[in-house]
């Protein structure tokens, strides 16, 4: 492992925002205090991820992003395993359908019913947008218990 995982500090906030924006992930709810970052001594932060809480008590694995030059090096796997080890289950996530197999490797399963309110709203909104602009991929809601 050529990187180290650590809890984010306030000085990491701008890099986290930049990584999330460049990956075209949801830019809302980016509170640096919830983030774990992967960093190298030479390049600084190369990846990040968070678990955020929603009203009603559900928790979401979110904002998992790795710098392009570090992809396929196990960085996202390290971030996800770390976050799952320090947060109580269940944990939910939303992702593009093409990412479903990746998250299944961690024990996440696709759910279609019995979703917490936040995930019902997100699914509903995405289905409305899909009607207006159909695309090949769909949104998955997944859960690990």
Tens-place pLDDT, residues 36-63: 999 999 999 999 999 999 998 999 999 9
- Structure letter (DSSP) for residue 32: G
The CATH number given to 1-51+63-86 is 3.40.630.30
Alpha-carbon radius of gyration of the chain: 15
Alpha helices, H only, the chain? 13-22, 75-86, 100-104, 117-132
3-state secondary structure (DSSP) of residue 39? strand
pLDDT in tens, 10-22: 999 999 999 999 9
Cis? peptide before 131, omega within 30° of 0: no
pLDDT at 136 > cutoff 80: no
Phi, psi of 66 (to 5 degrees): -130, 140
Range list for CATH 3.40.630.30 in the chain: 1-51+63-86
């Amino acid at each position: 492992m050529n990187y180290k995982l650590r809890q984010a500090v306030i000085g990491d906030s701008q890099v986290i925002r930049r990584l999330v924006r460049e990956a075209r992930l949801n830019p809302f709810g980016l509170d640096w205090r919830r983030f774990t970052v992967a960093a190298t001594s030479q390049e600084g932060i190369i990846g990040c991820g968070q678990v955020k809480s929603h009203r009603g008590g559900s928790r979401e694995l979110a904002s998992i992003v790795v710098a392009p030059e570090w992809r396929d090096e196990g960085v996202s796997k390290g971030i996800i395993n770390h976050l799952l080890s320090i947060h109580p289950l269940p944990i939910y996530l939303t992702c593009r359908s093409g990412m479903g197999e990746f998250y299944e490797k961690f024990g996440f399963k696709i759910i279609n019913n019995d979703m917490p309110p936040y995930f019902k709203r997100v699914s509903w909104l995405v289905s409305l947008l899909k009607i207006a602009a159909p695309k090949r991929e769909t949104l998955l809601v997944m859960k690990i218990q």
